[in-house]
């Protein structure tokens, strides 16, 4: 399965992942700049903030319970497409998903 | 500054190395770690890793990161001494590494309580990936696990073992669970939860000796009051001690950890210390030592900024902690030390919320399976009792009111 990360400066990084992997882990494990994931996906921080590409927001789905409160603490602007990437697990219908990264996570 | 050496490649040491690069440091970085392999996250060892055994998921950064960031990582490397006069560290293998600045991220090790027979097969501890892998391998053949210590690690393991169908008895020396970390109300709630999970918990009980089977393997624990708890796996989870020896031998001031100032500098201005091993001043100037990812990571960032950009405001990051026990998530914002008022607030359709105040200000918030309340709590530390009372202690309403222009 494929994820395409687009950094705030326009850098495009395609990454191969397996189903069940979170988008946060995929970014961290593939050394994609712009995602920190400080708490390891425990919903304890907001350092894996991402913007889901407009073409993919329906497939990815809305924020999970509690996510918006964490995003209130995010360092960059929160938009309708904002998600915590640790809460998005890869599944077949997300193959090819495009994820935009904010300028800063801290 | 041409060369920075970091001793300790846990999450704090790793963060110091990556933050130095993020802040624009151009010199050499040498990261020395004792354990084999790439730096990894410890918190999941007693949580997700116990359930799924996926060691690869623990790695903080892939090998390519260290190449790209020009961070020289040496694993399986034990440092035997620091020579402050010549500014060198000497490894056990005899290599000498010069430093312009040294960062001590030596962490902590498990405390071994005075219990006879701790070396018996079947007695385990949990700190490293190797420890966790060993426990995981043993668990399948375990009928009854005895846990010595009812703190975070012991209880996270207990919940995992119960989920795996293993009988569990927890022996706790104090009258309540997690006594050092949470309020009595939260302790009581977790006691209910662990009993519901089928765990047996014995309070005010001191372990005296490990019992043995005829082959010399652990067969349970003898308590000081004469009781015997049978079990084929014994987890010793009785807290940690900071690894201060290198620093102390080098003559640095140590007192419950390596003593640092508000800039996280030790008594030698060429040496900083961070994370579990650092005893640092809290905002009131009282020295504290925290065993947490938050402190390790925030200390590391503070030190990196100082080394690259010079001294700024003293370290003042808000402490936070978490513990996943079964499907329950305990989250703590702030420190409740010195609280003069603690309120347990049962929530309708939700789990317990605990607020701790000192001198009329909110100093700590404990939440249970409520990440949103936890985040609201973090932003409200320092708020007045009256302000929270005016909002009926509804943290989310209080945060909203704070955000609105007056």
Question: What value of ipTM does the predicted structure carry?
Answer: 0.83
**Pairwise CB contact (< 8 Å): A31 & B329:** no
Who among A31, A42, A70 is closest to B322 (CB)? A42
Q: Is pLDDT of B348 > 90?
A: no
Cβ-Cβ contacts under 8 Å, A38 against chain B: 293, 297
Contacts of B379 in chain A (CB under 8 A): 72-73
Mean pLDDT of A4-18: 95
Q: Is the pLDDT of residue B405 over 70?
A: no
Is residue B380 a part of any domain in this protein?
yes
CA-nearest of B337, B322, B364 to B180 is B337
How close does chain A come to B257, measured CA to CA in Å?
24
Interhelix angle for B152-163 vs B184-196, to 10°? 20
| Same domain membership, residue B383 and residue B348 | yes
Q: Is the pTM of this model over 0.90?
A: yes
What span, in angstroms and rounded, lies between the C-alpha atoms of B132 and B135?
5
> Are residues B229 and B305 located together in one domain of the fold?
no
Within 8 A of B320 by CB-CB distance, chain A residues are: 44
Give B66→chain A minimum CA distance, Å: 10
When pLDDT is averaged across residues B207-222 and rounded to a whole number, the result is 97
List of domains in chain A: 2-100 (3.10.20.30)
Torsion of CA B268, B334, B148, B224, to 10 degrees: 90
Q: What is the pLDDT of residue B406?
A: 58
Q: Are residues B44 and B104 in the same domain?
A: yes
Task: Let me know whether B147 and B197 are in one domain.
Answer: yes
B216-265 pLDDT, tens digit per residue, is: 999 999 999 999 999 999 999 999 999 999 999 999 999 999 999 999 99
pLDDT of residue B394 exceeding 80 = yes
pLDDT computed for residue A44 by the predictor: 84
Instruction: List the CATH number of the domain containing B99.
Output: 3.50.50.60
- The tokens describing B158, both together, are 């207990």
Whether B317 is covered by a domain: the verdict is no
Q: Do B246 and B199 reside in the same domain of the chain?
A: no
Q: Distance from CA of residue A77 to its chain's centroid?
A: 14
Each residue's pLDDT tens digit, A46-93: 899 999 999 999 999 999 877 888 898 888 999 999 999 999 999 999
Out of B181, B211, B238, pick the residue that ends a domain.
B238
Question: Which two structure tokens, joined as six digits, stand for B312?
Answer: 């700024």
* Per-residue DSSP letter, B154: H
Q: How many helices (DSSP H) and strands (DSSP E) are in chain B?
A: 11, 26
Task: Single out the residue of B376, B73, B113, B86 nearest to residue B240, CA to CA.
Answer: B113
Q: Which residues does chain B have within 8 Å of residue A25's beta carbon, measured at their own beta carbons?
A: 57
* B300 touches B274 (CB < 8 A): yes
Q: What pLDDT is recorded for position B371?
A: 86
For residues B202 and B165, membership in a common domain is answered with yes
- Interface touch B59/A70, C-beta < 8 Å: no
Does residue B148 belong to any structural domain of this protein?
A: yes
Residue B251 and residue B153 share a domain? no
Q: Are residues B100 and B248 in the same domain?
A: yes
B73 in contact with A at a CB cutoff of 8 Å? no
Question: Is residue B321, in this structure, part of any structural domain at all?
Answer: no
Q: Give mean pLDDT, residues A9-33.
A: 93
More confident residue, A65 or B269: B269
Tokens matching residue B313? 């405001």
Sign for the CA dihedral angle at A64, A44, B110, B177 comes to negative
Q: Give helix B11-22 / helix B293-309 axis angle, nearest 10°.
A: 30
Whether B183 is covered by a domain: the verdict is yes
Nearest to A69 among B56, B65, B371 (CB): B371
Tokens of residue B57, six digits: 């998921």
Domain end position, chosen among B238, B271, B296: B238
Find chain A residues with C-beta within 8 A of B399's C-beta.
72
- The C-alpha atoms of residue A101 and residue A85 are separated, in whole angstroms, by 10
Give the count of domains, chain B. 3
Within a domain: B191:
yes
User: In terms of domains, do B74 and B128 share one?
Assistant: no
B 336-375 near A (Cβ less than 8 A): 370-375
- B199 and B275, same structural domain? no
B133 plus B194 within the same structural domain? yes
Integer CA distances (angstroms), B146 to B130, B153, B171, B172, B236, in order: 20, 13, 7, 11, 9
What range does the domain containing B49 cover?
Answer: 3-109+241-309
The per-residue pLDDT for range B108-143, each reduced to its tens digit, is: 999 999 999 999 999 999 999 999 999 999 999 999
Judgement on whether residues B215 and B360 belong to the same structural domain of the protein: no
Measured between alpha carbons, how far is B347 from B169 in angstroms, rounded to an integer?
Answer: 30
Q: Mark which of B309, B342, B367 sits at the end of a domain.
A: B309
Burial of B74: CB neighbours in 10 Å, binned 0-12, 13-18, 19+: middle
């Amino acid at each position: 399965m494929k994820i395409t990360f687009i950094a705030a400066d326009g850098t495009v990084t395609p990454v191969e992942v397996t189903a069940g992997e979170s988008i946060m882990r995929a970014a961290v494990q593939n050394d994609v700049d712009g995602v920190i994931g400080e708490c390891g996906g425990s919903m304890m921080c907001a350092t894996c903030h991402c913007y889901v590409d407009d073409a993919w927001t329906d497939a990815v789905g809305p924020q999970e319970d509690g996510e918006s409160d964490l995003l209130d603490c995010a360092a960059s602007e929160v938009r309708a497409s904002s998600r915590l990437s640790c809460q998005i697990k890869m599944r077949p219908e997300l193959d090819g998903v495009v994820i935009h990264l904010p300028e800063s996570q801290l | 500054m041409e060369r920075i050496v970091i001793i300790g490649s846990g999450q704090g040491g790793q963060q110091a190395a990556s933050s130095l690069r993020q802040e624009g440091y151009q010199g050499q970085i040498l990261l020395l770690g004792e354990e084999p392999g790439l730096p990894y996250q410890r918190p999941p060892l007693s949580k997700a890793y116990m359930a799924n055994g996926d060691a690869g998921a623990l790695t903080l950064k892939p090998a390519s990161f260290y190449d790209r960031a020009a961070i020289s990582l040496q694993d399986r490397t034990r440092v035997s001494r620091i020579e402050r006069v010549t500014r060198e560290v000497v490894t056990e293998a005899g290599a000498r590494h010069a430093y312009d600045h040294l960062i001590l991220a030596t962490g902590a090790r498990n405390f071994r309580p005075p219990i006879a027979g701790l070396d018996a097969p079947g007695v385990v501890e949990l700190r490293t990936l190797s420890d966790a892998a060993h426990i995981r391998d043993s668990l399948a053949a375990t009928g009854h696990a005895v846990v010595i210590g009812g703190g975070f690690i012991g209880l996270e393991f207990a919940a995992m073992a119960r989920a795996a169908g293993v009988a569990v008895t927890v022996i706790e020396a104090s009258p309540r669970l997690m006594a050092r970390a949470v309020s009595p109300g939260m302790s009581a709630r977790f006691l209910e939860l662990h009993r519901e999970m089928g765990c047996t918990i014995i309070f005010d009980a001191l372990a005296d000796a490990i019992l043995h089977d005829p082959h010399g393997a652990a067969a349970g624990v003898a308590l000081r009051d004469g009781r015997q708890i049978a079990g084929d796996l014994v987890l010793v989870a009785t807290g940690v001690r900071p690894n201060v020896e290198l620093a102390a031998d080098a003559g640095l001031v140590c007192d419950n950890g390596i003593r640092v100032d508000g800039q996280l500098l030790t008594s030698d201005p060429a040496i900083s210390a961070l994370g579990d091993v650092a005893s640092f001043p809290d905002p009131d100037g009282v020295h504290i030592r925290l065993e947490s990812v938050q402190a390790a990571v925030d200390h590391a960032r503070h030190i990196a900024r100082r080394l690259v950009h010079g001294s700024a405001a003293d370290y003042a990051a808000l402490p936070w902690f978490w513990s996943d026990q079964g499907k329950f998530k305990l989250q703590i914002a702030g420190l409740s030390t010195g609280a003069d008022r603690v309120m347990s607030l049962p929530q309708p359709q939700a789990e317990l919320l605990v607020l701790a105040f000192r001198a009329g200000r909110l100093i700590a918030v404990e939440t249970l399976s409520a990440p949103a309340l936890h985040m609201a709590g973090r932003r409200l530390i320092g708020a007045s009792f009256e302000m929270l009372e005016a909002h009926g202690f509804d943290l989310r309403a209080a945060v909203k009111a704070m955000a609105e222009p007056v």
